[in-house]
Amino acid sequence: MSNNMQNIELKENSLLRFMTCGSVDDGKSTLIGRLLFDSKTILTDTLTNISNTSKKRGMETVDLSLLTDGLQAEREQGITIDVAYRYFATGTRKYIIADAPGHEQYTRNMVTAASTANLAIILIDARKGVLTQTRRHSYLAHLVGIPHIIVAVNKMDLVDYSQDDYDKICADYMSFAKEIGLAGARDIQFLPMSALNGDMLVDRLDNMAWYKGDSLLELLEKAPVAHAEAEEAFRFPVQFVCRPHASVDAKLHDFRGFMGRVESGEVSVGDAVTVLPNGYESKVKAIQIGDEQLQTAPTEQSVTLLLEDEIDTSRGDMIVKSSDLPQTVKQIDAFVCWLSETPLSPARTYIVRHTARESKAKIVAIQYKVDVNTLEKQQTNDLKMNDIARVSFKLAQPLMVDSYTTNRATGAFIVIDESTNNTVGAGMIV
Amino acid sequence: MTTKKTLSHLDWLEAEAIHILREVAGQCSNPVLLFSGGKDSLCIVRLAEKAFRPGRFPFPLMHIDTGHNYKEVLGFRDRRVKDMGERLIVRSLEDSMERGTIVLKHPDEPRNKHQSVTLLEAIEEHGFDCCIGGARRDEEKARAKERIMSFRDEFGQWDPKNQRPELWNLYNARSHKGENIRAFPISNWTEMDVWQYIERENLELPSIYYSHERDVIIRNGDIIPANVKLANGEVINKPKDGEEIVKKQVRFRTVGDITCTAPVYSDADTTSKIVIETATTTITERGATRLDDQTSEASMELRKKEGYF
């Protein structure tokens, strides 16, 4: 165990959410197991559990990948069928890993994991190079807008730690990344490693002295945690309106607090704001968290906003800066990933949930679907689970939107089937 | 690289939890917050204060009492509720036992797993469409795949294969009549985060979370609190023949039903000492303290399927 992992985490740290893309064969579970193990997140009783299981299954060494296969149903089948969330911390950062299975039929799980990640580790088997699944993972990471990509060429021990093999894989990947517009749009870093031996994960070890870049943990520690580094427009969907007028405290009779989370941008006391969809204008009078007063609230902070004027506002409205408005629309064009085993039925009415707002929605057209392996566009009339397609919807209620590429919070929506209440689709507004 | 202001990990976790609580309030018509007086639920009521003050909570609090709770914790629970000026509903396993809906195999059988019955009865009685709980994904591997808004069918069952995908922070807490959502605002918190938050917010906890001297029995390597006097005067966990009572310096890492939560040896008598102890511990919270999770590798998963939290 290296020194930087032994620090006791006692202070407030930054937080990075990342995902891992790869199948069991790529050593993904071993990679996560090792990060947890080397960061002391695995405690002795858990280790005893998995070493017993390893023995039961006739293995000679402790299989770190067992740390990440959770449910009995999955253990029986020996596969991972759902996104699992794991946690570890170093002296300076807390990490949340979204661990998604990488097989083709699990596109929906990858999209789910990617939706909250700010960094993706794409695993490539050094013996196999860039495969169809590498392309699929990269396309999906790009589609869902993950800003930072680490391409980890794993199993370097099985190619004698060959720099030539590594260089060739990096070059192959870059030419493909240019093809799909990933290069340039996203921050891409490469590293060689062996998750099994631990080369270049937490410790560098001696096998790849030719590699001068950062180890995986160093890359994770340095990655920016914000989803967008550029300034974004202020977007504040109202989740709940607080009106304690019946309170015994007379001062609160006129209190009207708009409760929500700063989804993007920031807001300060005195800012000129507009409340959508009605378009009322006012100024921010106060920003509070409980009884604490703030001057400014940054992105992702949950606060209560008080406005100068008495404005009739309810859940689902959006407070924005008057200088930078989103579009208010009743028709949207989006890339949709279908999540449900029940295919999309173009004749039906669905519910679209966008920020804190819901609207009934009808399908206008499915323009094409994307083959996630070849990235070819195909004509289609239906959408099945794991399909990705460009779809136009018309809406009963207006939504206040930005394109997904400019704003993840106001560009994303989910599709709900009203009969089952299931979440059946995930959309990214074009 | 720009120096855009980002939240610290505790601020981020707090903001996420507040957002989840407000989504419950906005989407559900009759939610309830499960409150035991334990450390996780004390964090959640603090978060609820930040989410909804100066208003009242848009939900009552509820405790499912096994009848085997530490009186220090029950007293603390009632005091905290009174201070907040919120409404507490208590439903007790013993009422279910009287109704005959819970039948213990023997009087000493641990009651934790039977909580599901009383909980489901209370949900039906009040027509709750959502229960907010303090479960965390790091607690146990069956929880690592748990949704933040987790769907339960009419029988309160959790079907791990039939959970709604959860993307971005767009939560789907819709349910039909009789069905139920369990909402977990501190899903993404670890035990360490909880203690750091308690320290930062200066939260008061029941005294048994801190190091104290206690009569215990050492049984098969477990530390069993001995001769615990309940609020009704009854004494449980009496030593069996041949067992010896010893005095030890202990604290509870987790507080639940007396018959199935064990303390750990500890000298940590302040929150900041506990933070350090948590950072250096070598045993998981449940592994150290939950006598009921050790029976089978999948025991938590099985209990969850039956409607347990």
What pLDDT is stored for residue A54 in this prediction?
Answer: 65
Q: Residues 6 or more apart from A128 whose CB is under 8 A from it?
A: none
% residues pLDDT > 70 (chain A)? 85
Cα distances from B99 to residues A11, B95, B102, B112, in angstroms, run 50, 6, 8, 18
Q: Residues 6 or more apart from A83 whose CB is under 8 A from it?
A: A98, A99, A100, A109, A112, A113, B145
- Beta strands of A262-387 (E only): which ranges? 267-268, 272-276, 280-289, 292-294, 296-297, 302-307, 318-321, 327-338, 349-354, 357-370, 377-378
Give the residue with greater pLDDT, A268 vs A251: A268
What pLDDT is stored for residue B294 in this prediction?
Answer: 45
How does residue B256 score in pLDDT terms, banded at 50, 70 and 90?
Answer: confident
Residue B295 has pLDDT above 90, yes or no: no
Instruction: State the residue for tokens 């004027």.
Output: A309
What pLDDT is stored for residue A246 in this prediction?
Answer: 64
What pLDDT is stored for residue B196 in this prediction?
Answer: 93
Mean pLDDT of B199-223: 93
What pLDDT is stored for residue A154 in this prediction?
Answer: 95
Are A253 and A247 in contact by the 8 Å Cβ rule? The answer is yes
Give the residue with greater pLDDT, A406 vs B258: A406
Mean pLDDT of B275-289: 69
What pLDDT is stored for residue A68 in this prediction?
Answer: 60
Mean pLDDT of B200-226: 93
How does residue A10 score in pLDDT terms, banded at 50, 70 and 90?
Answer: low
A-B Cβ pairs (cutoff 8 Å, strict): 201
Residue A169 has pLDDT above 70, yes or no: yes
User: In terms of Cα–Cα distance, which of B36, B96, B32 is closest to B257?
Assistant: B36
What pLDDT is stored for residue B90 in this prediction?
Answer: 97
B-contacting residues of A 215-274, CB under 8 Å?
Answer: 224-226, 229-231, 239-240, 242-244, 247, 249, 252, 255, 257, 259-261, 266
A-contacting residues of B 34-53, CB under 8 Å?
Answer: 49-53
Residue B254 has pLDDT above 80, yes or no: yes
Q: A-chain residues within 8 Å CB-CB of B302?
A: 72
pTM of the model: 0.91
What pLDDT is stored for residue A4 in this prediction?
Answer: 39
Q: What's the CA gap between B246 and B61, in Å, rounded?
A: 38
What pLDDT is stored for residue A28 in this prediction?
Answer: 82
pLDDT tens per residue, range A295-313: 999 999 999 999 999 998 9
Mean pLDDT of B35-63: 96
Inter-chain residue contact B51 with A13, CB threshold 8 Å:
no
pLDDT tens per residue, range A353-396: 999 999 999 999 999 999 988 889 999 988 999 899 999 999 99
Instruction: Point out the residue among B12, B161, B282 whose CB comes nearest to the CB of A300.
Output: B12
Please say whether the structural domain B9-192+298-305 has been given the CATH code 3.40.50.620.
yes
Is B103 in the A-facing interface, judged by CB distances under 8 Å?
no
Residue B29 has pLDDT above 90, yes or no: yes
Are A237 and A260 in contact by the 8 Å Cβ rule? The answer is yes
B-contacting residues of A 130-189, CB under 8 Å?
Answer: none
How does residue A427 score in pLDDT terms, banded at 50, 70 and 90?
Answer: very high
What pLDDT is stored for residue A34 in this prediction?
Answer: 83
- Homologous superfamily of the A235-321 domain (CATH): Translation factors (2.40.30.10)
Residue A78 has pLDDT above 80, yes or no: no
What pLDDT is stored for residue A61 in this prediction?
Answer: 60
Indicate the class that CATH gives domain A3-222.
alpha beta
Q: Strand A388-401 to strand A357-370: parallel, antiparallel, or no bridges (unpaired)?
A: antiparallel
Is A36 in the B-facing interface, judged by CB distances under 8 Å?
no
What pLDDT is stored for residue B299 in this prediction?
Answer: 55
A235-321 against A327-429: fold identical: yes
The third-level CATH classification (topology) of the domain covering A327-429 is Elongation Factor Tu (Ef-tu); domain 3 (2.40.30)
What pLDDT is stored for residue A8 in this prediction?
Answer: 45
The mean pLDDT value of chain A amounts to: 88
Tell me how far the alpha carbon of residue B243 is from its chain's centroid: 31
Inter-chain residue contact B6 with A84, CB threshold 8 Å:
no
What is the SS3 assignment for A421?
coil
Is B99 in the A-facing interface, judged by CB distances under 8 Å?
no
The mean pLDDT value of chain B amounts to: 88
| H or E stretch covering B183 | strand B180-183
Q: Where are the domains of chain B?
A: 9-192+298-305, 207-289
Pure H helices in B109-247: 115-126, 191-201
Mean pLDDT of A5-33: 74
% residues pLDDT > 90 (chain B)? 61
Lowest mean pLDDT among B6-20, B33-47, B255-269: B255-269
pLDDT tens per residue, range A59-73: 656 666 666 655 555
Inter-chain residue contact A81 with B13, CB threshold 8 Å:
no
Best mutation target among A69, A87, A408 (most B Cβ atoms within 10 Å) is A87
Residue B3 has pLDDT above 60, yes or no: no
Is B296 in the A-facing interface, judged by CB distances under 8 Å?
no
Give the residue with greater pLDDT, B174 vs A197: B174
B-contacting residues of A 42-81, CB under 8 Å?
Answer: 43-46, 49, 53, 70-73, 75, 81
Instruction: Point out the residue among A45, A260, A422 whose CB comes nearest to the CB of B287.
Output: A45
Q: Where are the domains of chain A?
A: 3-222, 235-321, 327-429
Question: Which residue in B has a C-alpha nearest to residue A427's C-alpha?
Answer: B167
Choose from A46-50, A53-57, A294-298 the range with maximum mean pLDDT: A294-298
